Amino acid sequence: MKRVRLGAVGYLNARPLVYGLERSTRFDLRFDVPSRCADLLHRGRIDIGLIPTIEYLRGPSEAGHDDGYRIVPDLAIASRGPVASVALYTTRPVSDVRAIAMDTSSRTSVALVRVLCARAFGIDPALEPAGPDLALMLASCDAALLIGDNALFQQAGQLAAHSGQVTVQKIDLGEVWTTMTGLPFVWAFWAGRPDALMADDMQALRQARDAGVAASEPIARQYLADRPERQAAGARYLRDNIKYHLGPDERAGLELFYRYAADAGVVDSAEPLRFY
């Protein structure tokens, strides 16, 4: 049987979803930043990707694959309230922000910033793509979007060093979304073309998730082996901030995000959710 090419996000928050899969004889597993996962899936270089949710609406770009993607049921990277690892760092009140440096590793978070600027912050800033270097980002813009481990492990002292005498505020975008909508936010999910998975494959992905959710401490210890002072915080983050189910509330939050993204011109339209 042909092995399934599985593209996962390399950040800490994705590790519970792939727990043990590196030993699987069914899956070939690779890790990339979220935007790269999406590009690989769009180009047919992987069969299933843990993609930013906004990329589901952009679909495959290969000729002959115009039927869109399917989502693996009940699996996601989501949050309800503070997410801790997706944040806007501002050097002035958010109502006064005029330019935001946007982490190019992300796509869903970039789309969420555009939605929140319109609906929560009431601003229309210039958005400048940038690498995830907070010092350089804040040197050119008065706010910066960071995602993943870079955001999770930013410390107050590091923020002070980045900004000199300027106070830097961290605005947790998961918290802003839930405050605004009352719903969870879905950052990523497994998706692929309609014929990419069989029922046993989806069961294996759910089993990996279940085992990974129960193993937050060993996952954090292994992932952060070279930074032991971060391991307890990493385990708390996996246990308390990140949710790994795509239930009714998560689906409602996702559908609302898609409608808001279409209203903001981020995507052409809000397509229905289609599952395997």
Question: 79 and 184 in contact (C-beta within 8 Å)?
Answer: yes
Q: Which of 270, 242, 267, 255 is nearest to 76 (CA)?
A: 242
- Provide the β-strand partners of residue 126: 99
CA distance 206 to 50: 13
Asked whether the predicted pLDDT for residue 167 surpasses 90, the reply is no
8-51 confidence digits (pLDDT tens): 999 999 999 999 999 999 999 999 988 899 999 999 999 999 99
pLDDT in tens, 104-137: 888 899 999 999 999 999 999 999 999 998 989 9
H or E, element range at 88: strand 86-90
The SS3 of residue 86 is strand
pTM value is 0.92
Report domain 4-78+185-263's class.
alpha beta
**Domains 4-78+185-263 and 86-181 in one fold:** yes
pLDDT, position 196: 94
Across 42-79, b (16+ Cβ under 10 Å) vs e yields beeebbbbbbbbbbbbbbbeeeeeeebbbbbbbbbbbb
Burial class of residue 140, CB neighbours in 10 A (0-12, 13-18, 19+)? exposed
Mean pLDDT of the chain: 92
Give the β-pairing of 126-130 and 99-103: parallel
Q: How many CB atoms lie within 10 A of CB 96?
A: 12
pLDDT at site 105:
84
Query: Using CA atoms, how far apart are residues 146 and 108, in angstroms rounded to an integer?
Result: 12
Q: Given this model, what pLDDT does residue 228 score? A: 96
Rounded CA-CA distance 6/44 in Å is 11
Question: Cα(253)–Cα(245) distance, rounded to whole angstroms?
Answer: 13
* Residue 158 pLDDT > 60: no
User: What average pLDDT does this structure show over 227-237?
Assistant: 96
**Considering only the top CATH level, what class is 86-181?**
alpha beta
Domain ranges for the chain = 4-78+185-263, 86-181
| Single-letter code of the amino acid located at 186 | V
pLDDT digits (tens, 9 = 90+) for 248-264: 999 999 999 999 999 99
Residue percentage of the chain with pLDDT more than 90: 82
Give pLDDT, residue 114. Answer: 96
What's the rounded mean pLDDT across residues 78-82? 98
Closest by alpha carbon to 171, among 195, 146, 208? 146
